[in-house]
Amino acid sequence: MQILSGKELSAQVKSQVADKCMEFEKRFSRKPCLAVVLVGDNPASQTYVKSKKKACEELGIAHLDIDMDKSTSQDELLKCIASLNDDPAVDGILVQMPLPSQIDELAITNAICPEKDVDGFHPQNIGKLLLGQETLIACTPKGILRILDHYGIQTDGKDVCVLGRSNIVGKPMAALLMQKDRNATVTVCHSRSSNAQDYLKRADIIIAAVGHVNAVTSDMVKDGAVIIDVGINRVPDATKKTGYAIKGDVDYEDLSAKVSAMTPVPGGVGPMTIAMLMENTFIAACRREGVNPESFGNEVNC
């Protein structure tokens, strides 16, 4: 089985983005800038924000960190976003999810300027993605495509089963795979699919993004299938210092003898999501300066 290492690939991508950011700073006397808004004290969210800040520092991207209390109202958060939308020094805006219950996540997503929506979640960007137009692409699906391309896994004419229908992964992933430059035959299965195993069994490529362990086992897939595991699940493990282990959505050990290639967890899709966020921030900065991102050295997929 071939291990599809996102950790190794992300290091290559980040190195390329770092070079481009250095050139960007020379051209425009400033760094691309990412603003990250964290509302509340969710431990997982704090960890994610910390990893994004670290990546920015490594790549030469300026970062603006805004921490807001968990009691923050929706109006207060909307005012913060409006201020960032109007700030000429900010190229990308990311509001860390999930948000406290008093805040409507969709209203917040809609409030972010589409040109600064480096998460790729704004309806305008999602609509352009569906139509195959140039836009800021959601980071996880974009990272998955980069993994497939890097390891030479063809989607043209292949049966692909996307397990999960979230707005963050499942839906944009399916839309990207059915574009004319990908040409996959895509099936989306979810919690209400009565015959999901039938689709999984015939799929050449399975993208699992359902958020619970062992959602895919060896009896559900055909020999030689390719597995992309998006899941990040904390499973109690007394042998770990943290008290838990990180597992994906698929049974890695069970599948490893049957599939032809698979992403590990951790070290697969996760690192690529961060790398794509950094790349999207660079792309957003270029577009705001009116220059083509591809004019900076190595190719950047917009």
CA dihedral angle for residue 88, residue 92, residue 97, residue 100, rounded to 10 degrees? 0
Tokens of 244: 């838990």
Cα-flanking dihedrals φ and ψ of residue 59, to 5°? -95, -5
CA–CA distance, 173 with 45 (Å, rounded to integer): 23
96 in active site: yes
Lateral strand order in the sheet of 92-95: 62-68, 33-39, 92-95
119 in active site: yes
Asked if 8 and 264 touch (Cβ cutoff 8 Å), the reply is no
CA–CA distance, 77 with 95 (Å, rounded to integer): 10
Beta-bridge partners for 34: 63, 92
Q: Which of 119, 204, 249, 251 is catalytic?
A: 119
Residue 120: is it exposed, middle or buried by C-beta count within 10 angstroms (0-12/13-18/19+)?
Answer: buried
Q: Which of 14, 31, 52, 171 is catalytic?
A: 52
CA–CA distance, 51 with 42 (Å, rounded to integer): 14
CA dihedral sign of residues 180, 271, 166, 116: negative
Strands (E), the chain: 2-3, 33-39, 62-68, 92-95, 159-163, 185-189, 205-208, 226-229, 233-236, 244-247, 261-262
Asked if 120 and 173 touch (Cβ cutoff 8 Å), the reply is no
CA–CA distance, 276 with 141 (Å, rounded to integer): 9
Q: Which of 16, 31, 96, 204 is catalytic?
A: 96
CA–CA distance, 146 with 9 (Å, rounded to integer): 9
| Catalytic (active-site) positions | 52, 96, 119
